Amino acid sequence: MERIFVAYVPASSPEDVKHAIHRGIQALGIPVPTRRRILIQPACPWAHPRFAPHAFTPLALLEAVRVLFSDNVLVIGASSLPGFPSRYALKQAGYWAWARRHRVPLWPLDERPAQRSGEEALVPQGVREADGLIALPRLTGSGFLGFAGAARHHLFLLSPSSHLQAYPRLPEALIDALTVRPPDLIVLDATQVLHRGGELAGEPIPFSLLIIGTNILAVDRIAAVLYGLDPREVPWIRLAIQRGLASPSMEDLQILGDLSLEDLRHLGEKIVHADPLPERYAWPPQVRVYRSEAEPLWNIPGALMETLWVLERGGISLAKAREAAIVIGPIGELPRPRTDTAAAILLGDSARADYRGYSRIVRLPGRHVPVARLLLDLPYILQVASMRSELGWGFLWESVRYALRRRS
């Protein structure tokens, strides 16, 4: 029987967080190692004070883990969503200054050489060689998966290319990735849970909890309950159950600590789940989305929703967008446009449509179109904003540096 510790954290100071984690590892019987090389992986899918101010692991949690495991050689390693330079996000999250102050090495994992793990997945150099791995995921919404927790976080250990290739088959990819350097300790941050949005731009709601365990599947089944979901209805957990990796019943999990499963279900009722269907988004009347039912939500539709929530968070309005039809997957004939400046925007290689009458045809290619590409290109195509200007020179400079580093 897998055991999970749920800790109530009355305050968000590093000392309170450290005490909560220490109680958890004692109750679970997890030994605190000494003189080992430990990789600490915080969540940092992106960070920006305006567009993604809460998407990353709080420094208080990172500091608590550093102090608790200070008798070891610590390394911080994190990666952002494909297309976002991790170095930029780590700086914006405050990790760079924190790591320098405490003399802890900081690895932007997307900059490290990739090594093959298993038959397909590539992982950054140093991930598999670490004596210990401590994962610090956040509990958030997700346009890709309904919620993001430990398994979603674990995917960020893959190289950017392997991560990008995972999206068309994301539930299967999450299951496959479970064997890639499993964490020795998971401390899922639910002190402030993000809802009413996705992984980058949700609205924080205070729950003041940490979910502590060693098994990704077990942690995420508890996290799903806390997020107001039936774990059996979450695509990747349902697949794990079908493969015999988890029980359809929660009775195989023992919950220790400060809250019961019923307490977590009660808290989960406060979560507001954002609608994941891009065709039902509150578009202005001149913009329409046409999605083939064959296109899974966890691929391009998920990236589009994540992009829209980021734009909302940053105050970028679509009200004055040009007339446009956004196409996801193969569909039939588009409605004839009302203006002679209308654009047909085809997202991904599979997008097909009869777009006669549209003056501008734009295709963003790929089996998956990353959030980073949509964020930079879609507002420009719709003529509502230049995100390159909105994000500023710091973001552009790190993007150029990252591209040059990848080519060298």
**pLDDT for the residue 407:** 67
| Interatomic CA distance for residues 227 and 231, integer angstroms | 10
Phi then psi dihedrals of residue 222, to 5 deg: -70, -40
- Count the neighbouring beta carbons within 10 Å of the beta carbon of residue 143: 26
Conformation bin of residue 80: beta by default, left when phi > 0, alpha when psi is -120 to 50? beta
AA letter at 214? T
pLDDT, residue 403, reads 76
> Do 303 and 370 meet the contact criterion of CB atoms below 8 Å apart?
yes
Amino acid, res. 233:
E
What residues does 190 pair with on adjacent strands?
A: 209
Per-residue DSSP letters for 346-398?
EEEEEEEEE-TT-SEEEEE-SSS--HHHHHHHHHHHTTS--HHHHH-HHHHHH
**Per-10-residue mean pLDDT, the chain, length 408:** 95 93 97 95 97 97 98 97 95 97 96 73 88 98 97 96 96 95 97 98 97 98 98 95 93 96 98 97 98 95 98 97 98 94 97 96 97 97 95 87 72
Which amino acid type is present at position 88? Y
Q: Which single residue is written with the structure tokens 């539930």?
A: 171
Report angle CA 388, 391, 392 to the nearest 5 degrees. 85
Q: How far apart are CA 221 and CA 237, in angstroms?
A: 7
pLDDT at 232: 95
pLDDT value at residue 155: 97
pLDDT score at 120: 59
CB burial class (10 A; 0-12, 13-18, 19+) of residue 327? buried
- Residue by residue, DSSP assigns 196-245 as SS-SSSPEEEEEEEEEEES-HHHHHHHHHHHTT--GGGSHHHHHHHHTTS
